[in-house]
Structure 1
Amino acid sequence: MTTRLTVPTDHPYDVVIGNGVHEELRGLIGYGRGVLRVAIIHAPAMREQAEQLRKPLVADSLDVHLIEVPDSEQAKTADVLSFCWKVLGELGFTRSDVIVGLGGGATTDLAGFVAASWLRGVRFVNVPTTVLGMVDAAVGGKTGINTPEGKNLVGAFHEPAGVLCDLDVLGSLPAAELRSGLAEIVKCGFIADPTILELIEAAPEAVSDATSPIVAELITKGIAVKARAVAGDLRETAGGAEIGREALNYGHTFGHAVERFEGYRIRHGEAISIGMVYVAEIAHRSGLIDDELLARHRSILTTLGLPTTYRPGIWEALSATMRVDKKTRGDQLRFVVLDGLASPVILAGPDESLIFDAYRAISE
């Protein structure tokens, strides 16, 4: 069965989810609307899949080029970005041409920023190949690269023309990558859709199979949560009583600090898992959530084989990184926390002793 979700922003686009849906790419790139060239940006492991995407497009008389970039976060650098610009320039890429990002979240983040920055914005389509890429990076129009100072500090909001989630590719997904993606789905459960948590708690064994119907349902639910958040606050500018898109950053302030400290050798979902437990500790110590909801964070993440603790003795380094997080305003730290299940809020400027105590509570 194929599911089509529309992200209803100012420039609506479809997210197509199902098995064997690669034939949908032709429509998403806008074939017949002046497209002459297509550049497929992919990591080395996706070379075969890139060729599979390329062949039918070439049969449609399109000029299709493959641009191979490094794996994972190593792709999200200024040097790799510059390399992609060079290739596009040599190809004579115009504003009517299309970029396709094929791979995990790092690849689609990079491909989106290449598209956003080339000629001040060209059309692009994301074809995520991991659970994490499908439910997080591919949808929402956030594109960017990392710098030595932090993750995703340079980028642009640039919405895709469409997103293609072919569930067939998940059959070869390593177990650790599946768990990493599930962390982002769990996040969606805590901030917006508790039925996600109930599905996982009812059938944890089935969730460990990337090809199971439950995983397909969880992916669809996670994408739906993100689509709703993005539609209401594309550029993350909601204010007042509305948290808007910032809710999607639940666990990310601390999680990004962990990723940077580990040199991005830890998977994104693993870091976000730790980050969610950390902010749950902050919310609990602030009187916003009860013992049961705090314990539920640890329980469900542990059931999935995700980490819920982190190394002690490095608070100063983590704190310094959090202070250049995108959600920080001036010198004031801001955390997305819960004041109840599916009720995210911003906690601005919490007491330093409180956030340090939360760190100690998750330290091994």
Structure 2
Amino acid sequence: MSTQVLRGKIEPLALIEVFAYLGRHQETGILNVTCDEIKKSVIVHRGFIIFARSNQTQDRLGDVLLAGGMINQQQYDEATHLIYEKGYRHGRALVEIGAISPKLLWEAIQNQIHTIVRSLVPLEHGSFEFIRQQIKHKESITLQLSISEMVIDLIRGYPQREEFAAYFKNRDLCYQANEAERDGLSALEPYEQYIFNFLDGETPLQQLCALSDIGEEESLRVVYLLHCLGLIEPVALEEVPPLEVVPEPEPVVEPAAPPPPGHNIHPVIVRYCDIYRYIQQYLSERVGAMGTQLLRKYFEETARNYPAVYEGIDLSADGAPQPFALQERLSEMEGAEAQRVLAMEEALDEYLFAGILAVKKMLGAEHEGEVLRHIEQLA
């Protein structure tokens, strides 16, 4: 029996986050990646990569060995003939003809897996899908490659370091150590430990980048690495309502001022924000930062469609805009009060629908139903 757990479009850093999720949650199943005619699969078992497949010629075991100078063309051709004649796998054929030793075969398969996984990260478009299922890993040669070590290797070697700066758009965000994951600190290099020490729950990313001696992009690369390994977690910013300035009493008693525009919608805004927080928490618990990233993308799309409501308003770390900022925006909008309230509710609904879509897209219809039932209770 198989269950689809994750699916989505390939974007910068997306597949690194997928691997990080599979490692942290010790998943078992198959990650399928498609980009035009390219089809590759990575098989994981309890948080380890055990095998990888590809339909690309350059990823085949014999071609990897030939490209690496481990075998020559004559040995490659002889093994290929044996494959067609006896139906052997490429590895066995090469061992049979004495081109490689059994020890080298295992090392070659490890190198092949690394090659396939690394080749996924630069893909600029396509889709991925992870299917949770039991793996009959005795059917072929398999290994036990740590996904965490692979993720570290991929992030350290990622060439487009500007993507890390683009990932952390909110530089006011603070991170703190995740005490439950302290064991992972032993894998850090000294310069990564140096950045980790800045993340005390009080130093925003903007200040960290200004203080760091390794520059903004490399500092954020390390923060991203720590984030993917689960060594740090964001600190939710508390909502602080604006201070109300009480004017001095006037000697002349004036008629009572009318209530502010849309005064009765504030509880509605707060309720929407509670739902947004719930959706982000629900996704974060199941797919990690990928859920937060997708929700932020959907929020940005919604903001572009409803600039009168969302322009200049950002999401807090907990996944919701500030209710008081929305209330203030309502008072600044043009038109009659009823029209403004209607426009506000329409914009809030749009992002709510986007959040529900994110749940369905990443987790499936069953989880969508669970979220909808909970939303009904919140409403």
What's the TM-score once normalised by structure 1's chain length?
0.32
State the TM-score, normalized to the length of structure 2. Answer: 0.31
Q: Which has the higher helix share?
A: 2
Larger Rg: 2
* Higher strand proportion: 1
